[in-house]
Amino acid sequence: MAQTAVAPSANPLLADWTGPAGGVPPWDKVRPELFPQAFQTTLAERTAEYRKIADNPAKPTFANTIVPIQLAGKRYGQVMTLFGVMTGNMNTPAYQKLDREWSPKFSAASDAITFDKPLFARIQAVYDARNSSGLDAQQIRLVTRIYDSYVRQGAKLNDAQKAQLSQYNQQLATQFSTFGEKLLADESKAISVTDEAQLAGLPDSVKAVAKAAAAERKLPGFAIVNTRSAVDPVLTYATDRALREKVWRAFVNRGGNGDANDTNATIAQIVKLRADRAHLLGFKTHADWRMQDTMAKTPAAAMDLMMRVWPAAKGRVAEEVADMQKIAGASLTIEPWDYRFYQEKVRKSRYDLDQAQLKPYFELGNIIQGSLYAANRLYGLNFKEITGTVPVFEPNMRVWSVTDKAGKDVGLFYRDDFARTGKRSGAWANTYRGQRGLAPAQLVLSSNNNNFAKGAPGEPILISLDDAQTLFHEFGHAIHAMLQNVQYPGLAGTPRDFVEYPSQVNEHWLLTRDVLDKYARHYQTKAAMPQDLLDKIEKSRTFNQGFATAEYLSSAIVDMKIHTVANGVIDPDKFEAATLAEIGMPKQLVMRHRVPQFQHLFSSDSYSAGYYSYLWSETMDADTFAAFEEAGSPWDKPTADKFARLLLSTGNETDRAEAYRAFRGRDPDVNALLKKRGFAPTQAAQDAK
């Protein structure tokens, strides 16, 4: 890509962030052609900052080594935030080209810092003297974590090993970009439907979304985009079984169609590179390496938890399929594209509850307000909408300023809620800038990103109960970021298997009577959800948990199995099939994320050997909400205050398992998880208590 001729001083990506909350990203000025210069400038700047730390002739101390490390690379971090968000939310061929070109360069530059001998010697000197140099507990923990991280990343390898490791990391960075590019191409496709009769059974709101998607793509009639938010309603409501199968196959085969967008070869390379890297670093498998800094600690511990729950999930699926088969009759055998359709019929039969009845009460704007209300009532966070006063990268985004219960500024909260071409699938939280107490202090810039379907202009945006739960889930991540109050950025993050805990806990407040009464209001009549409908939701809470648990757990088990193959040699499709056969995967459903499209695992290292973390977090989340129930109310203020103080505000300043024990007085009770999902306690779960 040709570099822009603009001078660095005039490049808006290199400018200080200005505006409220200590400065905001200049989203309105971000253009792909500005990034090469910004990358070059800030990479060089960061290298110089670390060089200054490494070459300091003074005796290494916490103040002259660890503190500067905490502050280094600020402008580089800002540029990478801008780039990361654009590639995730507004991707184009220009951004894909940049990602391909620069990802290995970023990896090499980071390795150069990790492998810098004088720098690591200074870190080691501070580490060796940590208990005799007057440091407080947080400073000792920070020094220890930095030292351990450098060692895990290869700082103690010899020069030849470091060169090899850097090659592995650069190759992985390239393959991650390739995987993301191929998957995005498959998810940008859509199934065209010209005969409206094929859409029989779909609610009008879903058809309106499909019509808008067709218009956007200049297609006649309707278009069903190959993303979960568009596909699930078709699988749930469409009476045309052939259409359901066609839509289902397109969705579950993303990345696995044997064409130019097939990801299997890319995944095989990623898995092999990860295994080779783990061996170089002295670990048996990639999973062993990745799990060093987790609560579970070992692949065996994670597998143990998953296999305690798997039999109950599988047994419940068999019950669910039997119930569906009774309704379907002998002339039809339940297949995966039938599951959601017939589960709705069972729900209607058993609870007199139709998901289509609920949608009119889940208007997006109201549910957003409900999430803000809950955060205010629980934690004292105050939200004031300031949309239109700060830059955004997409005109439908909304922004709030956030203050705490004392009126002190916390930061800003952004929402980017709608699906579009160039936006990756799923839902996620971003932190554009994390809180920091270390001078110069920083306020939070947090965001939530969803792929809700947007109808025609002026149409109400109605979301499903599942979507509403996703909204509360992602907002839980934002709450975690906004309540954080740490001194050092190096103690801000948490173990991967803790990350989903605050978000999963937050889901519970959606279905509290208070939130539903106030915010689940009919989009036309404004009437509150009738009590009998509320009662039906309550009674059906554990409905279909076999499906939900099995599709998730199978994905997590396959992830762990892939990343415990010692030599890293796999055929992804065959490995998936063999693993599912080994655990007895019910044939009526598929993994929530099949291997060829498993973005959590193959777009970065982030969740690799870590997808189990949702279940690990859920053992804490279910037990945490039980603490509120034991206190007599989901709004019990002393419990909320204690939860925020010990677990939400402290980042990684203390061991997370110890922090949980301080909150609950014991380790999590696995039976709380089983109860939440409607499974009977098992003997294995009893043994785990």
484: Cα within 13 Å, side-chain hemisphere: 33
- Phi and psi dihedrals of 430, rounded to 5? -120, 145
Q: Which residues pair with 428 in a beta bridge?
A: 449
| Helix, strand, coil distribution of the chain in percent, nearest 5 | 60, 5, 35
In the DSSP assignment, the letter for residue 18 is: B
C-beta separation of 8 from 37 below 8 A: yes
Would you list the DSSP string of 131-172?
A: TTTT--HHHHHHHHHHHHHHHHTTTTS-HHHHHHHHHHHHHH
**Which of 348, 175, 353 is CA-nearest to residue 268?**
175
Q: Which residue in the block uniquely carries the two structure tokens 């920070």?
A: 142
- 552 burial class (0-12, 13-18, 19+ CB within 10 angstroms)? buried
Indicate which residue of 181, 187, 320, 474 is catalytic: 474
Specify the pairing of strand 444-452 against strand 409-418: parallel
Distance CA 390, CA 28 (A): 9
Pull the structure tokens for residue 560.
């762990």
C-beta separation of 175 from 266 below 8 A: yes
Helix extents (H) in 487-644: 496-507, 513-519, 531-539, 545-562, 572-583, 599-602, 613-631, 637-643
List all residues 6 or more positions away from 204 whose beta carbon is below 8 Å from its beta carbon: none
Quick check: helix, strand or coil at residue 410? strand
Distance CA 625, CA 514 (A): 16
Angle between helices 264-280 and 159-187 (to 10 degrees): 160
Tell me whether residue 474 is one of the annotated catalytic residues. yes
**Which of 442, 428, 416, 523 is CA-nearest to residue 476?**
428
Distance CA 372, CA 90 (A): 26
Distance CA 411, CA 480 (A): 13
**Which of 392, 173, 162, 171 is CA-nearest to residue 280?**
162
Distance CA 29, CA 256 (A): 37
List all residues 6 or more positions away from 566 whose beta carbon is below 8 Å from its beta carbon: 275, 284, 285
- Phi and psi dihedrals of 450, rounded to 5? -130, 175
580: Cα within 13 Å, side-chain hemisphere: 22
Distance CA 143, CA 641 (A): 29
- Phi and psi dihedrals of 385, rounded to 5? -70, 130
**Which of 410, 560, 590 is CA-nearest to residue 485?**
410
Would you list the DSSP string of 342-361?
A: HHHHHHHHHHS--HHHHGGG
Distance CA 110, CA 165 (A): 12
158: Cα within 13 Å, side-chain hemisphere: 1
Neighbours of 197 (CB within 10 A): 8
- Catalytic site positions: 474
